[in-house]
Structure 1
Amino acid sequence: MAWLYLIAAGLFEIGWPLGLKFAQQDNYRLAGISTAVVCMAISGYLLFLAQRQIPIGTAYAVWTGIGAAGTFLVGVLFFGDSSSLIKYFGVALIIAGVIALKVG
C-alpha cells in the first residue's frame, strides 16, 4: 500500500506546478492557486503515509522523480514547452533511477 501512496503522491506533485501555470492567466488565478495548494497538501500527506514503510531517501527520490518527469511531459504535451532528444534522455534517466530505487 505504501508504494501506491507514493505513486499517488508523485502524481499530485505534478498538480501543483500545473496549478501555478494556470494561475498565470487572469481568469484562472484563484482556481490555479487553489489547485496548487490542494495538490501540495495531498502530495505531502501521501508522502507522509508512504514514508511509514519506505525509507525516506527512496521515497523522496521517487516522489520528486515522478513529479519532475511528469511535469516535464505535461509541459511538452499541453503547453508547447520545448523538447529535444537530450531532454527525453534526461527524463529516461530519471525514470531509470526511480526503477532502480524500487528494485534495489
Structure 2
Amino acid sequence: MAWFWLVLAGIFEVVWAYGLKHADGFSRLWPSLGIIVAMIISVVLLELALRSLPLGTAYAIWTGIGILGTTALGIAFMGEPAGLLRLLCIGLIVAGVIGLKLITPE
C-alpha cells in the first residue's frame, strides 16, 4: 500500500507544481487555494508512504514523479522545449526511479 500512497503523493505534487504557473504569484485566489490543498494532500500521502518505505527512496521517487509529471505537462500544454538532450536527462530520472523501486522492498 505504501507504493500506492507514494505514487498518489507524486501525482498531487505534479498538480501543485503545475498550478503554480496558473496562480500568478499567488495573486489568483482559486488556483492558489488549489495549490495549497494539493500540497497538503501530497505531503500527507508522502508521510503515509514513509511509514514503511525508506526516507531517501520515497523522497527521491516522490520528487522524480514530480519532475516527470511537470515536465510532461510543460511540454504538452505550455510549449516548453522537448529537445533530445532534455528528454535523455528525463530518461535518466525515469531509470533512477525504476531502479529504486526494484531494489526497495516494502
Which category of TM-score, normalised to the shorter sequence, fits these structures? Answer: over 0.9
Q: TM-score, normalised by structure 1?
A: 0.93
Distance in 2 of aligned mates of 1:90 and 1:75: 15
Distance in 2 of aligned mates of 1:65 and 1:95: 7
Identity within the alignment, %: 48
Match of 1:101 in 2: 100
Q: TM-score, normalised by structure 2?
A: 0.92
Distance in 2 of aligned mates of 1:57 and 1:20: 26
Q: Which runs of 5+ in 1 are unaligned?
A: none
What CA RMSD, in Å, does the superposition of the two structures yield over aligned residues? 1.4
Match of 2:24 in 1: 24
Distance in 2 of aligned mates of 1:47 and 1:20: 20
Deviating beyond 3 angstroms after TM superposition, the runs of 4 or more aligned structure 1 residues are none
What does 1:1-104 correspond to in 2, within 5 Å? 1-24=1-24, 29-104=28-103
Distance in 2 of aligned mates of 1:74 and 1:35: 17
Q: Which runs of 5+ in 2 are unaligned?
A: none
Q: Secondary structure at the match of 1:64?
A: helix
Number of residues paired by the alignment?
102
Preserved contact between residue 19 and residue 34 of structure 1 (Cα < 8 Å): no
